[in-house]
Structure 1
Amino acid sequence: MYELIQTVLSSDEKTILRQLISDLSASGKRYFLRNEILHAFAEYCHQYQKPAYFFHSSSLGTLIHYTHEIILEEDDIWLLLRPRIGSQEVWRLLSADTSNFDLQTPQVLLDVRDRFVNRYQSQILEINFHPFDRGIPSIDDPRNIGQGLAFLNRYLCSQVLSDRSYWLDVLFDALHRLEYDHKQLLIGDRIKTGLQLYKQIKQAIKIIGERPPEEPYEKFSEQLQTLGLEPGWGNTASRVRETLELFDRLIETPEPAILEAFVDRVPAVFRVVLVSIHGWITQDDAVGRPETLGQVVYVLEQAQSLENKLRSEIKLAGLDSLGIQPQVVILTRLIPNCEGTQCNLRLEKIERTENAWILRVPFREFNPQVTQNWISKYDIWPYLETFAIDAEKQLLAQLGGSPDLIIGNYSDGNLVAFLLARSLKVTQCNIAHSLEKPKHLFSNLYWQDLEEQYHFSAQFTADLISMNAADFILTSSYQEIVGTPDSLGQYESYKMFSMPELYHVVDGINLLSSKFNFVPPGVDENIFFPYNQKDKRDDNLMQKINDLLFDSSDDHIFGCSDDHIFGHLENPNKRPICAIAHITSVKNLSGLVECFGRSQELQKQCNLILVTNKLHLSEATNSEEAAELEKIHNLINQYNLHSQIRWVGIRLPKPELGEIYRAIADRQGIFVHFASFEAFGRPILEAMSSGLPTFATQFGGAAELINDGECKFHINPTDLEGTANQILQFLDECNTNPEHWYEISERVIQRVRNKYNWQMHTKQLLLLAKIYRFWDFVNKENREALLRYVDTLYHLVFKPRTEKILEEHMQR
């Protein structure tokens, strides 16, 4: 960046930069974010009739596009530049002489931000995780961020090549530790060294090569055990030989593909715990709450897929004959006042599984008026430590031993996963789903003003603890980690930030760490299957859904009355535009209604179908819901859309939602996800899996779900006219070429099948658990130092913050 800044300040563009700074200052503001900076520069270029290239590719234009923040102080101009994804630089220009500039440390910028909110103090706690990265391999190309497994496999293979005998002993030590309920697996005590293991495997390959390929393991198990090889290599002679040969090839010619294939067969995971604390975990129609529904559905489907995959792995390893069974537990809280759901049951079997369970553990009754009821994700922090202590005892009793893998979900579940994994010394996986910090602008700078409602001081600290302590992190998209060239990623927002008068985060997370892995989830293909699979559809359900969405004036459909349905379609045969979302400002359904209302051409060709959880202002449970509901109703009245909109406002079971997508597809409709920001967007996958051409917000990870292809399906929800034109362009192509809709429909179906399915997700997840378990064994000294630092942060900052929240709750 030095050369670029030098070029600007040593040319005529310096005068333009000074003028731009002057224009920003004239607004009366002192802190400017990227969109404001770009807008001001565009206004300047328009006012002074600069050519188009000047905005985009002049030296100053390039510098402005790299600039994500400008802070104006009396004597200084501060620039936060992002020259590439995952990298930030702080530069200071002197106001009196902009020719004078220098690179600054993150600490200096954090002080500037504190001064901006009048909360600067000379001494403040600094949190810096960078020292723990030393000596640990990191990804060097930002394009490979999120591919930690592939990177680690290449690194480990290179190490085996450099010192084969050492790594043979390391591999032997790791495999020798594998056991199930004190039953040794793979390697017995007769084998003492890595070299001896290598020789015995060579001999075993010869012996097994003489057996019939399909001969069961039990027939030749004694021969292998004589060599010191215990159960777990396979269930048939051919399977055992393949596994032994993979080990042999790994030592002879270590390659990432061989390592991955061998590790995939290692029987190292039998008991898995999925932690999802606050989410109203139930399997009836009341699954989840609006703020946690996506997470709960994800966890339930992941548990089903995990149990099936583990059962298959155990069988292929030849361990089912020993009575070894997989166990998957979703750990959540028991809620006494459960509002008619099953959330007050301690134990509940998960549907479509043989041995997967929901285990509910109650919070201790600090104040029963609070702990007996559902608790918001913003208020839950004081109860997590004691919950983890109580849950550990119940988990060990339920599982009959320690778990092999603990997976946290969301900030609170990840913190409990950290506490359990730290105590039990097992592998920890972190899944954020959605981090709150980047969703609330300036939430860290103004945390004191927001503390009573959101308790961000506890939450952001919990995030730092769990994401750094985790052995590996799963994300659903690349953008979740480091965003795009134009915007910060969710995890990237934790790289450097200030909590004035509490602490400064100088380096909060290593974005190039190999612990990050992009492993998207799937969809439940039993429910969200393509519209053209007529044999799987229920005729009665199809008719009821069509009545609900298009035709019927029946007062009661699925429990829906007139109170749950709004609008009567004048022409139900027009092509439907459908949106399914909860009522929140972020989902931005009001924006979609306004986009539809402003476009006469859209209204001419289409009806708008909204499916939400609420319909009337009286149903709102908070000010955000009330504001969004009121806005939608006002827009419908403003644009007189009553005969062109059908709005269903009731929570429907998943099978009915699946049929809604298919009913829209039957009429060659489209699905629109109009969120102002979406970390992932499960409804997008559900719609695509059902065969619906789908338009989705370009802001967030949702943009990665759609392959743009020939047509532009990424929309900017702030550009209503542009979005309407994009949709109309697609409709025009469909009207001109009737096959076009079917081509796009088939394309999105195949995209979900090929990239977003639970079988691929679960295979990758278990592979990650095994390889990172081995990596931690190799890297245990560095990891222990990191965990001690995390423990200090937990006790020094997190616990005191939660104690303050508990004091508030005790007074209720």
Structure 2
Amino acid sequence: MHELVQTVLNSDEKTALRQVIDALSALEKRYFLRNEISQAFADYCQHSQKPAYFFHSSSIGKLIHYTHEIILEEEYTWFILRPRIGSQEVWRLGGNMSGFEAMTPQALLDARDRLVNRFQPQILEIDFSPFYHGYPRISDPRNIGQGLGFLNRYLCTQVLTDPQYWLELLFDVLHRRSYNGVPLLLGDRIVSVIQLAKQVKQALSFLNERPPNEPYEKFRLDLQELGFEAGWGNTASRVRETLELLDRLIVTPEPAILEAFVSRVPSVFRVVLVSIHGWISQEGALGRPETTGQVIYVLEQARNLENKLQEEIKLAGLDVLGIKPQVIILTRLIPNCEGTLCNLRIEKVDSTENAWILRVPFAEFNPNVTQNWISKYEIWPYLETFALDAEKELLAQFGDRPDLIIGNYSDGNLVAFLLARRLKVTQCNIAHSLEKPKNLFSNLYWQNLEEKYHFSAQYTADIIGMNAADFIITSTYQEIVGTPDTVGQYESYKCFTMPELYHVVDGIDLFSPKFNTVAPGVNEKIFFSYNQIQDRDITVSRRVQDLLFTSEDPQILGQLENQSKRPIFAVGAMTPLDNLAGLAECFGKSQQLQERCNLIILTDKLHPHEAVNSEEAGEIERLHKIINEYNLHGHIRWVGIHLPITDLGEAYRVIADFAGIFVHFARFEAFGRTILEAMSSGLPTFATQFGGSLEIIEDGENGFHLNPTDLEGTAKKILNFVDQCNAYLEHWDKISEWAIQHIRNKYNWQLHSKQLLLLAKIYSFWNFVNQESGEARSRYLESLFHLLYKPRAEKILEQHMQR
């Protein structure tokens, strides 16, 4: 980057750079983001009548393209450059347009503190980089999020480097496998790697003489004589295949062989899914608006994990020992449960044999607070005692330690850290949605927001949780490191300041193999294609159609003048982020859209007095105002009723019956559960280009990307599709079918569960190999928890005690 900048400073383009900086200075701001910087440069080019190549291809054009932030100080201009995905550089330009020099992250954080007049010469610095030294690290940004494959290759390389050491580790891991004290895989008759290699050959010779489909029970004693216990397979052919993989792994280790072998080795039987604040039940309590997606995700994950574990146990031949998987969703018990089942200690997960919702109450402190639902922003004081109490309950319920703990969201990930640390169990984290990148500058102005949002506790918990995790699951690549033009959610934790509290110099290694992209699925029993007529309930369909189009109710606003117009359908919560009011404004500003389409909005609220906070009330009022301002009566229908999930599935299909479309107009979407639901149901889908939908949808192929800040552009894009459908009747059918097939093939829970369990096995083995390195990091995390997190949480508790 230095050469690029010097090229600018040593040429006529220096004048252009000076004028762009002067233009930014005139805006009476000192902190500028990428869009503002790009716009200032575009305005300069237009005003100066520069040719098109100058904006895109000149040296200054390239510099501006790489610039994601600019900070103006009296003497200096700071440039935060992003020359490639996942990497940032800090440069400072002198006031006389000279002296362009690389700066440290520490210097940048000091500059940000000065910007808000909260600079301290001495401040705590959090730096995780020493704990990743010596760890395997991905070099190509394109491979970020593919940690499993990278780690497999790395482990196989290590076997070739020091085969005896690594084979002894493999032997040790296999020899330790047991369930409730019963040995699995290897018995005491095999005491070394040399003997294992020899006995594998004998076992293969023995198995080659058995009928392929002969059940394991018939030759179980013969294998035990050779030193092999249960767990290799349920038939002679299955056992032979698994032992052949082990034989090949001993002789010629290759990544594909290692993955195939590990996937067959039984090592996960008990799984905990931690979801603390979710308001989790199955009857009328699929989360609050802020947690609905997470709750649906966790319930589906539990069902499918149990199915996959049952399948693996049977294939391993362990059902003969009476082994059954156990899956527990760990959440909080809420005494004042508002008519739901959230006050029951335990509840069985529907359509499972041994998956349960286990609810543990918060220690009371002030019952006026702890006996009620607590927002995700307020939950922090109770997590440590919850984790201690939950540990006892889990051990009692399982009868032993779990094999895997999966945290969900910031609070669940912190509890997963506390439990995994005490129980010495593999920990997986799933963020779902990190608050910091959603709330711009919230870390910089955290003190102004602390009373309402308590971001100091949450962001500290995030840093602890993501670094404690043995592996992290994300739904998309961009969740980790964004795109060439946008910073990823995890990337936003790389380097940031909480002024007067601490500096995060290096908060997370984005190139660590702990990151894995594993997309969730969609419940195909609920969200299936509209053309599966035989699976649809005609009574439910008629009821939902009446609700969406004709019936009158105090919770429904608007009657459609012409129901034959193509419906535009939107589902979401009444929050500024979901931006349903923005969609209504887009619709209101386009007379052509109103002539061709109706807008149908489905939310859980209609009136401001129903809102749970001022932000929600403001968004409800905004939508009412837009409807009146653009006189949308007769063209819009707003259903403010929380539908049961089965009715929601039918709602998508009813819209598809009318050849409608689905629009997801959020300002930002971490992933997009409703996008999957709509596409799976057969609705052509238009979704925000900011977030996970960039990877779900292939623009123009199986759906369309929208810019929710460009109302005119959005209207044109929808109109173009509608006009094509009107001109070519098969166009809607084509996009609909492509959407269905795309979701069916890529986003299903069977694939998710298979990959998740494989990750748990590989990373458990990796933990065993790197015990000493991991311990140092864990000690550091414990210090941050006790010295930083707990004091922040205690301040929240002081407020709660006064209620």
Q: TM-score range by the shorter chain?
A: over 0.9
Q: Which residue of 2 aligns with 1:761?
A: 752
How do 1:429-444 residues align onto structure 2 when only pairs under 5 Å count?
429-444=428-443
The residue type paired with residue 383 of structure 2 is: L
Residue type at the aligned position of 2:308? K
TM-score in terms of structure 2 length? 0.99
User: 1:475 — aligned with what?
Assistant: 474
Could you say which residue in structure 1 is the equivalent of 2:393?
A: 394
Question: After superposition, what is the alpha-carbon deviation per residue over 1:456-499, rounded to whole angstroms, capped at 9, x for unaligned?
Answer: 11110100001000000000011100011111110000000001
Q: Once the 2 structures are TM-superposed, how far is the Cα of residue 711 of structure 1 from its aligned partner?
A: 7.7
Alignment map for 1:38-437 (pairs within 5 Å): 38-95=38-95, 97-437=96-436
Q: Contact (CA 8 Å) 2:555, 2:641: kept in 1 or not? A: yes
1:465 aligns with 2:464: yes
TM alignment of 1:565-576, pairs within 5 A:
565-576=556-567
Contact 2:703 2:735 in 1 (8 A): no
Q: Which runs of 5+ in 1 are unaligned?
A: 554-561
The one-letter code sitting in structure 2 at the alignment partner of 1:18 is R
After superposition, the C-alpha distances for 1:677-707 in whole angstroms (9 at most, x for unaligned) are 0000100000000011100000011221112
Q: Say whether the 8 Å CA contact 2:274–2:412 is kept in structure 1.
A: yes
2:553 matches 1:546: no
Residue 734 of structure 2 aligns to a residue whose secondary structure is helix
Paired with 1:466 and 1:317, the residues of 2 have a C-alpha distance of 33
Distance 1:136 1:491 in 2: 19
- The answer as to whether partners of 2:470 and 2:763 remain within 8 angstroms in 1 is yes
Which string of whole-angstrom CA distances, capped at 9 and with x for unpartnered residues, describes residues 736-793 of structure 1?
Answer: 2111111111101011111100000000000000000000101111111111111111
How many Å apart are 1:709 and its aligned residue?
4.1
Secondary structure of 1:563's aligned partner: coil
Question: Where do 5+ consecutive residues of structure 2 fail to align?
Answer: none
Counterpart residue number, 2:453: 454
Match 2:798 to one of 796, 801, 807? 807
Secondary structure of the 2:253 match is coil
Structure 1 residue matching 2:554: 3-state secondary structure: helix
- The CA deviation string for residues 138-165 of structure 1, in whole angstroms up to 9 with x for no partner, is 1000001000001101111122222222
Q: Is the 8 A contact 2:569 2:660 kept in 1?
A: yes
In the other structure, the counterpart of 1:660 is 651
Superposition deviation, residue 710 in structure 1? 4.4
State the distance in 2 between where 1:614 and 1:98 align. Answer: 55
Contact 1:165 1:195 in 2 (8 A): no
Distance 2:596 2:341 in 1: 45
Equivalent runs, 1:13-32 vs 2, <5 Å: 13-32=13-32
> Where does 1:772-811 land on structure 2 (aligned, <5 Å)?
772-811=763-802
Alignment of 1:393-792 (within 5 A): 393-553=392-552, 562-710=553-701, 713-792=704-783
How many residues were matched structurally?
803
Percent identical across equivalent pairs?
A: 72
1:27 deviates by 1.5
Q: What's the CA shift for 1:578? A: 0.3
User: Does 2:6 align with 1:6?
Assistant: yes
In the alignment, residue 677 of structure 2 is paired with which amino acid? E
**C-alpha distance in structure 1 between counterparts of 2:441 and 2:317, whole Å:** 55
Deviations 1:432-464 (A, max 9, x none): 000001111111111111111111111101000
Structure 2 CA distance, aligned partners of 1:344 and 1:681? 30
* Aligned AA (1:32): F
- Taking the aligned partners of 1:487 and 1:456, their CA distance within structure 2 comes to 22
Cα distance in structure 1, aligned partners of 2:703 and 2:92: 40
2:685/2:703 contact within 8 Å kept: no
Is the Cα contact below 8 Å between 1:711 and 1:730 reproduced in 2?
no
Partners of 1:609 and 1:376 lie apart in 2 by 29
For residues 347 and 215 of structure 2, the distance between their equivalents in structure 1, rounded to whole angstroms, comes to 36
Query: 1:330 & 1:546 partners in 2: Cα distance?
Result: 35
Q: Which residue of 2 aligns with 1:557?
A: none
- Tell me the secondary structure at the aligned position of residue 313 of structure 2: helix
Aligned-residue offset at 1:623: 1.4
Give how far 1:286 is off.
2.5
1:556 is aligned to none
CA drift of 1:673 comes to 0.2
- Structure 2 letter corresponding to 1:687: A
Looking at structure 1, the residues matched to 574 and 30 of structure 2 have their Cα atoms a distance apart, in angstroms, of: 34
In 2, Cα distance between equivalents of 1:546 and 1:810 = 48
Letter in 1 for 2:659: Q
Task: After TM superposition, give the deviation of residue 712 of structure 1 in Å.
Answer: 6.7
Q: Cα distance, 1:253 vs. partner?
A: 2.4
Two-structure CA RMSD over aligned residues (Å) = 0.9
**Residue aligned with 1:762, SS:** helix
| Alignment partners' CA distance in 2, 1:692 and 1:194 | 57
Matches of 2:657 and 2:195, distance apart in 1: 65
Contact 1:336 1:372 in 2 (8 A): yes
Please give the alpha-carbon distance, in whole angstroms, between the structure 1 residues aligned to 2:511 and 2:293: 28
Supply the distance in 2 between the matched residues of 1:594 and 1:657 (Cα, whole angstroms).
24
Task: Please state how far the C-alpha of 1:549 moved relative to its aligned partner.
Answer: 1.2
Between the aligned partners of 1:613 and 1:279, the Cα distance in structure 2 is 17
Q: Provide the residue aligned with 1:559 in structure 2.
A: none
SS in 2 for 1:608: strand
For the residues of structure 1 that align with 2:162 and 2:201, how far apart are their CA atoms? 20
Partner Cα distance (1:79, 1:404) in 2: 46
Distance between the aligned counterparts of 1:707 and 1:439, measured in 2?
24
For residue 220 of structure 1, give the secondary structure of its aligned residue in structure 2: helix
Instruction: Give me the whole-angstrom Cα distance separating, in 1, the residues matched to 2:767 and 2:206.
Output: 34
Deviations 1:538-557 (A, max 9, x none): 0111111111112334xxxx
- Are the equivalent residues in 1 in contact too, given 2:702–2:738 (CA < 8 A)? no
Residues 541 and 654 in structure 2, CA contact (< 8 A), matched pair in contact too: yes
CA contact (8 A) 1:110 1:498 kept: yes
**Which stretch has the larger CA shift, 634-643 or 289-298?**
634-643
* Distance in 2 between residues matched to 1:432 and 1:271, nearest whole Å: 22
SS in 2 for 1:745: helix
Per mean C-alpha deviation after superposition, the further-off stretch among 180-189 and 152-161 is 152-161
**Which amino acid letter does the alignment assign opposite residue 762 of structure 2?**
I
